[in-house]
Amino acid sequence: MRAENIFESIPDIFDEEIVDILARSENVRIERIVSRGHTSPASGWYDQDENEWVIVLKGDAVISFECGGEMRLKIGSCVNIPAHTRHRVSWTNPETETVWLAVHY
């Protein structure tokens, strides 16, 4: 067992969004997601079988919902997205990393 820093090991340049699984059990998965100008694929919406609680630890982003509306997230913003709520990341800041902590349960 050792302490880690969630902001370490982020490369200066990366082409694809980084998703690291930090911990998991049978019913819970915790991820660090790092974006820089990345968005969800234009071809569709996330429609997940589990709930997702997410917080932005650094940067900012916009999540859009198929049912209408969007939510701007900044440092400290968090949201609980119920299972099968169709959503997508429509914008992340291209000038700096957006670091998310996502808990799927």
* CATH of residue 25: 2.60.120.10
Cα–Cα distances in angstroms (integers) from residue 60 to residues 3, 28, 100, in the given order: 26, 25, 9
CB 64 within 8 A of CB 4: no
| Residue ranges making up the domain that contains 94 | 18-104
CB 30 within 8 A of CB 22: yes
Mean pLDDT, contiguous 10-residue spans, the chain (105 residues) = 92 94 97 96 91 98 95 98 97 97 98
Number of structural domains (the chain) is: 1
4 within a domain of the structure (yes/no): no
3 within a domain of the structure (yes/no): no
Long-range contacts of 79-86 (CB under 8 A, 24+ apart): 79/53, 79/54, 80/51, 80/52, 80/53, 81/48, 81/51, 81/52, 81/53, 81/54, 82/51, 83/48, 83/49, 83/50, 83/51, 84/47, 84/48, 84/49, 86/45, 86/46, 86/47
Strand ordering across the sheet containing 29-35: 18-24, 29-35, 98-104, 52-58, 78-81
Position 43 scores a pLDDT of 81
